[in-house]
A and B are shown apart, each in its own frame.
Chain A
Amino acid sequence: MNDLFAVLGDPALQQNLLRQTGEHITLSLAAVGLAILAAVPLGIVLTRLERFAEPVMAAVSVLQTLPSLALLAFMIPLLGIGRTPALVALFLYALLPILRNTYTGLREVPANLREAGRGMGMSNLQLLRMVELPVAFPVILTGIRTSAVMVIGWATLAAFVGGGGLGDTILTGFAMVSTPHILAGGIPVTLLALLTDFLLGRLERAGTRQART
């Protein structure tokens, strides 16, 4: 413990940690943001094209079963090193929970709401915007929450391909066989993940409170 405080006392490390935390957050946000932009529309499309739903979902599941380190390594020949391969790998990881929950959430919108909406003269787009998405929102948000927490954890691996983030300090810790460094990088990651989980959980409950019938 004392070692940890000694290490943390180093102004250079403090600065590094601050910068890396910023990188970590940016990288995770970008990956989850892109995943939302891709997976939510894809999920919507799949509810309209039911027969593609299973194959697409299976393909995305395969991506997630790949060991994360392997996926990262796989990115290097394709995209080189740096932020891009890290971002792409994390993005691919984040897809599945969001896609699956969007698809399931939309399919679970009660048929009577759809019928009422259509019967009152909503176009397909209006039905989606005014009924289906708002009703499925808590479920979609759960998917986003799962993805976000996962991505924050796995973003530490970005350091292996030069993607930056708090993983850098952890790697330094490995190289120097210094537990304090590993902790100095690891603890903020854990805190970030917990905080994200808490905040999105709050948002989800706010959404569900209204949505029960």
Chain B
Amino acid sequence: MVRFELVSKVYPGGQKAVDDLNLEARKGEFVCLIGPSGCGKTTTMKMINRLHEPTSGRIYVNGRDIMQMNPVTLRRQIGYVIQQIGLMPHMTIAENVALVPRLLGWDRARQEKRVNELLPLVGLDPATYRDRYPSELSGGQQQRVGIARAMAAMPELILMDEPFSALDPITRETLQDEMKRLQHKYKLTVVFVTHDMDEALKLGDTIVVMRSGKIVQAASPDELLRNPKDDFVAQFVGRDRTRDVSLLKVADVMIRPVTIGPEHGLAEALVLMKKRRVSSLMVVDEDDRLLGFVTPRMIEKVRRGRVADVMRPDIITASPETPLQEAFERMFLAHLDYLPAVDEEGRLVGLITSTTMVDALSQALWSDEGESE
């Protein structure tokens, strides 16, 4: 959809904003350009609709060299959303949304119809909002209109320049979700400039980390978190964010399991499960050695008897030293919801469940935000 080939942009005075850049955004891909201010991310994006023009190199949109195209025609095919929103204050919401269709010479009826389709897409009721002026709307609502306006002429490509950074955190989250949804639904190709790594990780299929006009690393969010290419990327991703994910062991996240002795009665086992709100019990002997496990379903079949009669001894375990990732794979492959951890002597020392796993991972990923920034 968009391809950069050895693109450079040198400003008068010799400052190199973009330096021999190669980049590709596939159709339907959400690409986030991120980096410190002055890294060339905005310049890169603005070269796509020729608001800036490259000094050398080629840029292709839909296979066509954009320098061979009329800039006005090019821009009308590309949606554009900016941080300061830029709604026309003297035009109603409907007129703002219909701006590009109007430039393209659509007739009134078609413009009207498109406005009435678009406003609900961005969560605004046409009857309420179409005849209002931008100054009557909140910042979040204005940017919703900004998104609708960018989508008005059904572009396949949308450029967004820090569109949500001036909004309050709650509005920002909501609009991020909605943008992702719209992008999916209409298979839009989006080139999105941001300085907020959380935003990039949330929205991007590909994150392009830039520094001094060059790409440092272009990768999926997952890849970026796991394998930051160098210290710069690691720091940008937030060092704490990646700190322990790959280093976490079962021992770091395991919880204390609910246990029962084999000699206890089944009714007692059920009461214990109910009281502790768990769906299974680990069966251990008096030395805490793991003998097996018991679930309500096993008890249901027999009703009477002791735990030893129904428990299943065929249990997959891990050691406290097992890397969390590996433990997770074991659970996943065996379709288990939990995995007991036993030491060398077979003693039960802990338990991990899918819930603890998710908690631990997300905590490692997100909790240190405050410290890392």
Contacts and interface: CB of A to CB of B under 8 A. Distances in A.
Interface of A: 110, 112-113, 115-123, 126, 130-131, 134-135, 137, 210-213
A113 B103 CA distance: 16
A113 B75 contact: no
Interface stretch (B82-90, B305-313, B348-356): B82-90
Nearest to B92: A210
B103 A115 contact: no
Contact of B88 (A119, A123, A131, A212): A131
A20 B86 CA distance: 50
A115 B51 contact: yes
Contacts of B99: 120, 130
Contacts of B103: 120-122, 126
Given A126-B103, A210-B133, A119 B90 contact: no
13 contacts: A113-B88, A115-B82, A116-B85, A117-B86, A119-B49, A119-B51, A120-B76, A120-B100, A121-B72, A135-B88, A210-B89, A212-B135, A213-B89
Contacts of A131: 88
Interface in B202-258: none
Nearest to A212: B135
Contacts of B87: 116, 213
Given A115-B51, A131-B88, A135-B90, 17 more contacts: A113-B88, A115-B82, A116-B82, A116-B85, A119-B75, A119-B82, A120-B75, A120-B80, A120-B99, A120-B149, A121-B100, A121-B103, A130-B88, A130-B99, A210-B133, A211-B90, A212-B89
Interface of B: 49, 51, 72-77, 80, 82, 84-90, 99-100, 103, 133-135, 149, 159
Contacts of B82: 112, 115-116, 119
A134 B100 CA distance: 18
Given A119-B75, A120-B75, A121-B73, A112 B135 contact: no
A194 to B, nearest CB: 29
A134 B88 CA distance: 10
B103 to A, nearest CB: 6
Given A126-B103, A212-B135, A119 B80 contact: yes
Contacts of A113: 86, 88-89
A115 B86 contact: yes
Contacts of B77: 121
B76 A213 contact: no
A212 B90 CA distance: 8
Contacts of A122: 72, 103
Contact of B51 (A110, A112, A118, A210): A118
Contact of A213 (B73, B134, B149, B159): B134
B44 to A, nearest CB: 15
Contact of A112 (B49, B74, B86): B86
A112 B90 contact: no
A123 B100 CA distance: 12
Most buried by B among A120, A122, A131: A120
B89 A116 contact: no
A190 B49 CA distance: 55
A135 B75 contact: no
A110 B100 CA distance: 20
A122 B104 CA distance: 10
Contacts of A112: 82, 84-86
Contact of A118 (B75, B88, B159): B75
B72 A135 contact: no
A134 B90 contact: yes
B89 A135 contact: yes
A135 B51 CA distance: 22
A-B CB proximity, top 4 nearest:
A116-B86, A121-B76, A121-B75, A112-B84
A119 B84 CA distance: 13
A182 to B, nearest CB: 45
A76 B74 CA distance: 57
B42 to A, nearest CB: 11
Contacts of A130: 88, 99
Contacts of B84: 110, 112
Contacts of A134: 88, 90
A28 B88 CA distance: 34
A117 B86 CA distance: 8
Contacts of B73: 121
Contacts of B86: 110, 112-113, 115-117
B72 A123 contact: yes
A122 B87 CA distance: 14
A1 B97 CA distance: 62
Contacts of A135: 88-90
A76 B89 CA distance: 48
Contacts of B134: 213
A14 B308 CA distance: 123
A113 B147 CA distance: 15
A135 B89 CA distance: 7
Contacts of B76: 120-121
A112 B89 CA distance: 12
A210 B92 CA distance: 9
Nearest to A122: B103
A112 B87 CA distance: 9
Nearest to B46: A119
B97 to A, nearest CB: 11
